[in-house]
Amino acid sequence: MSAMSQGTVVLFPQGVESCTARVVHVQPAEGTHLSEGTNLFVVTDRTPFHPVDHTWPDQPGDEGTLSAGGRSLRVVDALTAASGPDGVLRVGAEIPVRRNEPGWSFLVAHVVEAPGDMPASELAGAEVTLAVDSARRRALSMAHTGCHLMSLALNGRLRDLWKKLPRTDCLGNPDFDQVAIVESRIMPMQSVDRYRLGKSLRRAGFDVAALTDALESVREDVEERLGRWIEAGGRVTIETEAPELASRRWWTCELPEGPARIPCGGTHLGNLGELASLAVRFEIGEQELVVHTTAKQA
């Protein structure tokens, strides 16, 4: 049985930022151009690092350190990887299967900057300490929670612009976000969401012209709704089915309108009171609405 036959246990859903772990696989990180030094892919039995998702790369991988035997090495990225019956590590786009494929395990590949004189074998089987850059993690969590709130506030404000009812979100509003989203990018303290406004959205029953006409009022109402939600200070949790990376996870949040729940693989705040505000800016074109959401810490 390969050392990588167990999926990596991930501790980020509980907000963990450091832990000890055992290295189960290490190899040169070919195809990464993240730093000048020699990069290694290091897989451990468990980790606090959140890896970027290879199919929906909204939140980037955590950065931090890996310490072993008196050395402290930089972790410059954390990627989603998988290993199947052949025991070969496939990273990111090389993963050929879905998460529930029998015989495959999903893993966090830490991209570790190793000094030139350090053989990969030095880390094989080692007990290491993994620590996430907590300031960056926190800024990403702020932005990710803000991004989910923005999507729900936007769905709520746009509810009357649908002529036919599409699927609804967790608060019962037509789910503009899910129907129209093209790309979501989480950065420290801000997110950028791109929504398509073309023919297929019109055909789905959405009144694009009404949105364009009311854009500033939509923006103001969305910000006002976000302000009310932050004021209420609801609790945020990440629910999981199992501790391994491949498990399904949901962001849940107490809002004045009721409990919100969205499938999500990212990291989040513990409480909306950690935010001071969320500011929203729109850029609109013929085919696209781009929403910039900026978080401010309380």
Measure the CA–CA gap between 291 and 125, rounded to whole angstroms: 45
Nearest to residue 34, comparing CAs of 68, 1, 78?
78
Measure the CA–CA gap between 111 and 80, rounded to whole angstroms: 11
Q: Which is nearer to Zn ion, 264 or 269 (CB)?
A: 264
**Binding footprint of Zn ion, residue count (CB under 5 A):** 2
Q: Which is nearer to Zn ion, 51 or 266 (CB)?
A: 266
Q: In sequence order, which ranges of 116-185 are alpha helices (DSSP H)?
A: 134-157, 176-180
Q: Which is nearer to Zn ion, 92 or 266 (CB)?
A: 266
Q: Which is nearer to Zn ion, 123 or 152 (CB)?
A: 152
Q: Among residue numbers 268 through 287, which ones bind Zn ion (CB under 5 A)?
A: none
Q: Output phi, psi for 142, to 5 deg.
A: -60, -50
- Smallest gap from Cβ 56 to Zn ion, in A, equals 9
CB of 198 within 8 A of CB of 287?
yes
- Smallest gap from Cβ 262 to Zn ion, in A, equals 6
Length of the chain: 298
- Smallest gap from Cβ 186 to Zn ion, in A, equals 8
Pick one of 264, 275, 289, 295: the residue that binds Zn ion (CB under 5 A): 264
Nearest to residue 148, comparing CAs of 38, 266, 228?
266
Site string for Zn ion, 219-258 (x = CB under 5 A): ----------------------------------------
Using CB under 5 A as the binding rule, whether residue 60 contacts Zn ion is answered as: no
Pick one of 13, 48, 156, 266: the residue that binds Zn ion (CB under 5 A): 266
> β-pairing, 9-10 with 46-47?
parallel
CB of 154 within 8 A of CB of 293?
no
Measure the CA–CA gap between 52 and 81, rounded to whole angstroms: 10
Residue nearest to Zn ion (CB): 264
- Give the pair of three-digit tokens for residue 215: 């854009």
- Smallest gap from Cβ 272 to Zn ion, in A, equals 15
Q: Which is nearer to Zn ion, 76 or 280 (CB)?
A: 280
Give SS3 for 208.
helix
Q: Which is nearer to Zn ion, 118 or 181 (CB)?
A: 181
Q: Which is nearer to Zn ion, 73 or 153 (CB)?
A: 153
- Smallest gap from Cβ 266 to Zn ion, in A, equals 4
- Smallest gap from Cβ 295 to Zn ion, in A, equals 14
- Smallest gap from Cβ 189 to Zn ion, in A, equals 16
**How many of the other CB atoms lie within 10 Å of CB of 202?**
13
Measure the CA–CA gap between 224 and 31, rounded to whole angstroms: 45
Binding site for Zn ion (CB under 5 A): 264, 266
